[in-house]
Structure 1
Amino acid sequence: MKKYFFLLGVALIFSACSNDDGIKNGPTPNPDPDADVTAQNFMWQAMNLWYFWQGEVADLADDRFSSDAEYTAFLESYTDPENFYYSICNKHSRIVGTEAAIDRFSFGDDDYKELVSSLSGVSKSNGLEFNLMYKYANGNEIFGYVLYVLPDSNASGADIVRGEMFTRVNGVQLTDSNYINLLFGSNDTYTLGMAHIENGDFVNDSKEVTLTKVANQVENPILVAKTLDVNGTKVAYLMYNRFLSSFDEQLNQAFAQFKAEGATELVLDMRYNPGGNVNTSRLLASMIYGTHTDEVYIKQRWNDKVQAQLTNEFLTDYFANTTGTTSINTLNLSRVFVLATNDSASASELVMNGLAPHMEVIHIGETTRGKNEFSITLVDDPDNTFVYNSNREDKINPNNSWGLQPLVGRNENAAGFSDYTSGLVPDIELAEDITNLGILGEMDEPLLARALLEISGGSAKMDFTVEMPAEPFTSSRLQTPMRDNMYLDKPLNLQIQ
């Protein structure tokens, strides 16, 4: 069965050639042409060049093999390409189990076309976004609770809303061993059995909701954009759920609306945002802080082989004054309130970390996931240094459909900080309450209300006690090929020798 791990991505343009200024890879081992190791050979060659921890993985060392025969035998020792890939990752969580993992997020897909399409934000979906959580401290039964429903989706026409719970699928109780097959398997249509909590325990309801996944469902990441009046202060509220460049102009228009309505404060809600396009994160940061094109937003760090090829100009991203087509609408704020949880990752954390040296970032919620690395999409196209390019589909080895998404670098902010693999810790800790999720964008929704309390400087007029804290172990967003991703989209000319 195909495994989907945490997803990152990058779109880059590369040129491969031989000259004295190129990366020195050393002698390249070649497998026996009669050996059935096409996928494994591609994986080793690509990871030897690009992998962030290449210098720390003994089996990826340039001098690892003394002969082609030794190299062939090594590749043949793994008959399953998937197992081979994770074996050359640096203490990957898939391999080490309970041992502390270094690489938590690299993954592979035996169909690179599926991998590439997922990065565009287009997927087969019924439009219901939910988290999954254990019912009890002991046992394997789980339940789901609805986070939100995508507009213009199959679920938007069904009788189901944020905060509702379900325990069964097609009449079968959900467990940690069957939920993938029941909710994320090949069945496009399923029926949820709803439930509620009574006297501290789960009670199954007779209500059922049938949903159907639809191909090419596109999510507008701007779920809510409105300006609130808080005792005379205009507060912009943005519920932003993924960094997709195809919605950059709509995002800029939302900030034009905030400016026109006189907003002087912003609550940026990224509690469910798993990441996305790095440049979109830069644009959003500029809309919040300002169009300071001489101030550093983030810098990238690759492995030593690649880093030596890149200029400081390429490695450094500054704040922007245009989206590429229109001038950025910025609020020029000195502080921002960010709602973030463990469901917030990658580009969401990048915005928070990138803004931190320049303005006050007040983080309300929970510790974020801790994804400070980015990756690139690699396919069996050695003449293009294995980097996927949509214009080179005919150059990809037709006998090898594997695509890889390995971690290849880290982002640091203007102060040089990037060490948040354990997550960004909130200034004001407040978990979501399963029994009181509230309505997103309404002033009495608990996390938003807590931010508004800070803005108004008033005393608490509502009880922020959490009766049943949300402690999900996965979500609908993390069970898709796209998962949480962070991808670059600027051209890179790299010479490999």
Structure 2
Amino acid sequence: MKIIPILAALSLSALLSACGDGGGSASQTRQPTTPNPPPVAPDGNQWQFGVFPDESEFKDKCEIVRTMPDINGEAYPDTRGTSFDEKMWLRSWSNNTYLWYDEITDRDPEDFETPLAYFDVLVTNERTMSGARKDNFHFAQPTEEFESFAETGSSSGYGINWAFIESAPPRNFTVSSIEASSPNANSGVQRGDKIVEINSIDFVESDIQSEIDSINEALFPSEDGIETLFTFERTDGSQYSVTLTSGTFISSFVNNAKVIDTDVGRTGYVRFDGFQRTAQAPLINTFQYFVDENVTDLVLDLRYNGGGLVAMSAQLGYMIAGPNQTNNRVFELFQFNDQHPTIDPLTGDTIRPIPFFDREIDWENGVFTNNTLPNLGLSKVYVITTEDTCSASESLINGLRGIDIEVVQIGGTTCGKPFGFEPTDNCGTTYFTIQFQGVNDKGFGEFSDGFKVSDNPRFDDELPGCRANDDFKQLLGNENEAMLATALHHINNRTCPVFSSQTTTAFASKKVSEKRPDVSIYDARYRSFLLENSIYIDVKEPSEQER
């Protein structure tokens, strides 16, 4: 997959040195003193604490050289190297671009068996004000998977999206939605079903490590054609068993679009599950439909939207607010670590704010087309959120609030990721490390504990709205589903319904369980949704004429 120039990583020198103190003679006659020379960067076969050679010395030097072409038929840039080269690249790259580079403990790469094991420790251990991990978004995945998903929206698996309510005993994995193009779309599995057994292993209570390993392998199959026997429990308590087969499917990111007549006008509703390239056309079509239907209110369902392209988030912000409220306003400004106050370390360009994009994007060539986006020109939008609402979804909320669009939050606290990164391939693995923080037109971007509903908002990460939980007893898009029903009630009455927190099924966090790794199932953040919690851009900056 081509990385478009705005996020093409360019090597910048990250060589750090320290000066020693001068020393004097032991004799009574004072001798001239000279400072010790700064440490010399070691060659590529050595590690020296606190000294970071330029990352370009190690980039694409691979223990295993890829000979197959990438998704575009082009050769990978791999050359013969070692595992140590790969680890040294990770070290220098992190020191140069990681947002909290000065909070990484510098460790000898030789102490770690693999590059992935080393990458796991190239991260801050600090905590937020709430006690959550400051960086809960540090992960990697095979480049082949990333390229396929980013380019085409295709994934391999069962096509079932899970609500990971509890990953340790008593476990609760509940079906949240099923992809229409998945090989199991007609299997009879439906939203709200909970896993009871997998291949006759007790999914809920097993604490035997070999069984846990088998469950993990079955839940996240590594190839197509894997058949797995699942036993589910429905919301009425009945159980059934079904064999599911893994396969490749195309994710549908724009779902359940409809117009609902309310007491005060026409309300558009759409469930939007990811800011990915293939979502652009259906998203534009949906908003054109809303414009044609004279929609006056909008419910944007982001409950399962883990993020994606911030360029598309800027497009969506424009389609909601329109030109009069977005012209010459900042959607988001990226702030990098203090080594890079004015120059983007990923591109070498001067840091410039991202505007609200008003045109369609040609993703293949990384340029804007001449097609202007439809817009609703709203001054208020209802946003349905859970802890799965993350990254580019939160950028949308923050960007709109930066230009005084009223965002009414329905649901629960978002995941808390005002950060982003450029997915970077090296030797067959794509690494995601936090490289910037985004701020809106008012300079606000500190929502690392998530946007939250408040009865009396006093802080910038608190929003007006209604608390509500995910309702697995109803289909998504159904007007009786508790979160959508809550939004519609507020549109009609400007108050929260009393049932919004009483008749729903709780939706739990996907954050990494503190009980890992003993008897916990792999967290969905790293294994199920390939691009969850990512912000990145792959479109060229508009020229001055285009602005």
TM > 0.5 between the two?
yes
Counterpart code for 2:260: L
Question: Cα distance, 1:460 vs. partner?
Answer: 7.7
Secondary structure of the corresponding residue to residue 243 of structure 1: coil
* 1:186-218 superposed Cα distances (whole Å, 9 cap, x missing partner): 4732222121466xxxx562x222222212x22
CA RMSD, Structure 1 to Structure 2 (Å): 3.1
SS in 2 for 1:37: helix
The C-alpha deviation readout for 1:141-160, integer Å capped at 9, x for no partner, is 32322212222322222212
Structure 2: tracts of 5 or more residues without a match: 17-39, 47-80, 361-367, 454-463, 512-522, 542-547
Alignment CA distance shift 1:275-1:37 (3 Å): same
Deviation at 1:266, TM superposition (A): 0.2
Distance 1:401-1:259 versus aligned 2 partners, 3 A rule: closer
- Tell me how far apart the structure 2 counterparts of residues 159 and 447 of structure 1 sit (CA, whole Å): 24
Do the aligned residues in 2 keep the contact of 1:86 with 1:92 (CA within 8 Å)? no
Q: Note the C-alpha offset of 1:365.
A: 0.2
1:220: Cα distance to partner?
Answer: 2.1
Aligned counterparts, 1:146-157, within 5 A: 146-157=175-186
CA distance in 1, matches of 2:95, 2:235: 52
1:484 — aligned with what?
Answer: 533
CA distance in 1, matches of 2:327, 2:351: 14
Q: Look up the equivalent residue of 2:395 and give its one-letter code.
A: L
Q: Give 1:233's aligned residue.
A: 265
What code does the residue aligned with 1:375 have?
F
Matched to 2:287, the amino acid is F
SS in 1 for 2:231: strand
Counterpart Cα distance in 2 of 1:56 and 1:463: 45
- Report the equivalent of 1:318: 355
Alignment of 1:68-79 (within 5 A): 74-79=108-113
Distance 1:348 1:309, change over 3 A: same
1:376 to 422, 427, 432: 422
User: In terms of Rg, which structure is larger?
Assistant: 2
Q: Is this contact kept in 1: 2:140–2:430, CA < 8 A?
A: yes
Q: What's the counterpart of residue 443 of structure 1?
A: 479
With over 3 angstroms needed to count, the CA separation of the structure-2 counterparts of 1:83 and 1:230, relative to structure 1, is same
The match for 1:209 is 242
From 232, 236, 246, the counterpart of 1:194? 232
In the superposition, relative to structure 1, how do residues 468 and 441 fare at CA in structure 2: closer, same or farther (>3 Å)?
A: closer
Gaps of 5+ in 1: 1-8, 61-73, 381-399, 493-497
TM-superposed deviation, 1:430: 2.9
Q: Which amino acid aligns with 1:195?
A: E
Distance 1:56 1:460 in 2: 43
Change (3 A) 1:470 1:77: closer
Name the amino acid aligned to 1:367: T
TM-score for both structures, normalised by structure 2: 0.72
Out of 30, 37, 50, the residue aligned to residue 97 of structure 2 is 50
The alignment status of 1:456 with 2:501, answered yes or no, reads no
Corresponding residue SS for 2:436: strand
Per-residue CA deviations over 1:323-358 (Å, capped at 9, x if unaligned) read 232111000001000000111111111111111122
Check if 1:166 corresponds to 2:195.
yes
Greater shift in the superposed pair: 232-241 or 113-122: 113-122
- Contact in 2 for aligned 1:36/1:76 (Cα 8 Å): no
Structure 2 distance, partners of 1:88, 1:151, is 39
Q: In structure 2, how many angstroms separate the alpha carbons of the residues matched to 1:477 and 1:15?
A: 25
Paired position in structure 1 for 2:44: 31
**Normalised by the size of structure 1, how large is the TM-score?**
0.78
Residues 470 and 38 (structure 1 numbering): CA distance in 2 closer, same or farther, change over 3 Å? same
State the alpha-carbon separation in 1 of the partners of residues 176 and 469 from structure 2: 11
* Paired residues of 1:129 and 1:476 also in contact (CA < 8 A): no
Change (3 A) 1:314 1:454: same
Moved more, 262-271 or 228-237: 228-237
CA distance in 2, matches of 1:143, 1:319: 40
1:403 counterpart = 2:437: no
Aligned to 2:63: none
Aligned to 1:83: 117
Bigger drift between 237-246 and 36-45 goes to 36-45
- The alpha carbon displacement at 1:14 in A equals 4.2
Q: Provide the secondary structure at the position in 2 that maps to 1:119.
A: helix
Which residue in 2 is equivalent to 1:262?
294
Change (3 A) 1:476 1:51: closer
Which amino acid is the alignment partner of residue 397 of structure 2? M
How many residue pairs end up in the alignment?
433
Give the CA deviation at 1:302: 1.0
Shift of 1:489: 1.5
Residue 148 (structure 2) aligns with: 117
Distance 1:468 1:401 in 2: 41
Deviations 1:153-190 (A, max 9, x none): 22222212222333112222214862423311447322
Q: CA 1:43 to 1:99, structure 2 compared with 1: closer, same or farther past 3 Å? A: farther
The structure with higher relative contact order (CA 8 Å, sep 6+) is 1
Letter paired with 2:92: Q
- Alpha-carbon distance, 1:467 to partner: 5.6
Q: Give yes or no for contact 1:11–1:376 (8 Å, CA) kept in 2.
A: no
Match of 2:409 in 1: 363
Alpha-carbon spacing, 1:103–1:13, altered in 2? closer, same or farther (3 Å): closer
Deviations 1:281-310 (A, max 9, x none): 000111001133311111101123334324
The answer for the alignment partner of 2:469 in structure 1 is 432
Q: 1:286 aligns with which of 318, 321, 324?
A: 318
Output the amino acid matched with 1:372. P
Q: Is 1:11–1:488's contact at 8 Å kept on the other side of the alignment? A: no
Q: 1:300 aligns with which of 328, 334, 337?
A: 334
8 Å CA contact 1:10, 1:375 repeated in 2:
no
Q: Distance in 1 between matches of 2:303 and 2:122?
A: 33
The aligned counterpart of 2:441 is 414
CA distance in 2, matches of 1:470, 1:35: 45
Deviation per CA, 1:392-447: give whole Å up to 9, x if none: xxxxxxxx44432111111111111111111110233434255x532222222111
Q: Which letter maps to 1:360? A: E
Kept in 2, the 8 Å contact 1:10–1:489? The answer is yes
Partner of 2:21: none
